[in-house]
Amino acid sequence: MPRMGENGFSLIELIVVIGVLSIALAAAVPLAASLRHSVALDVAARELTIGLRAARSAAIYGNKEATFMLDGAAGQYWSDAAPAHKRLPAQVVFSSEQRTVGQIRFFPDGGASGGTIVLTDARRVAAVQIDALTGRISLNVGR
């Protein structure tokens, strides 16, 4: 049988629990912010890869050359297949083999002019490689 005053929690116990929860929340906020930046690079790299593949498909199925354009200074890219300019997130920048402006041409036989597009943010790098012979596009994301 409980005695008087033994039901519930003391004020000190509640303060300790609130303090521990506050410390855990303060530690979790920066982790969530870095995860959001990491996701931005992944999404930008995948969207860029999709745009390149669309340009390659347009060249093959349209039986004519298609061009994919990059403007690193403006942080934009576009192609004959999707002429609307797409922007990269502000924290993600790209270059094409050390140039800020470039183009990749895709040919009706599936080949391409080839090259590598490098996307970077504060912590990570993603490289999109276009094989000149086959036009195959591959994405490599590193830490």
Give pTM, 2 decimals: 0.71
Q: Which two tokens stand for residue 91?
A: 């924290």
138 in a domain, yes or no?
Answer: yes
Residue 2 in domain: no
Number of domains in the chain: 1
CATH code of the domain covering residue 50: 3.55.40.10
pLDDT at position 26 is 83
CA 61 to chain centre: 28
Q: How far apart are CA 58 and CA 131, in angstroms?
A: 17
Residues in a beta bridge with 118: 95, 127
Domain of residue 66: give its range. Answer: 11-142
> Tokens representing 26?
């303060």
Q: Please report the pLDDT score of residue 39 as a whole number.
A: 82
- What would the pLDDT profile of 38-67 be if each residue is shown by its tens digit? 688 888 899 999 999 999 999 999 999 999
Residue appearing with tokens 């116990």? 13
Q: Which amino acid is at 39?
A: V
Q: Would you say residue 4 lies in a domain?
A: no
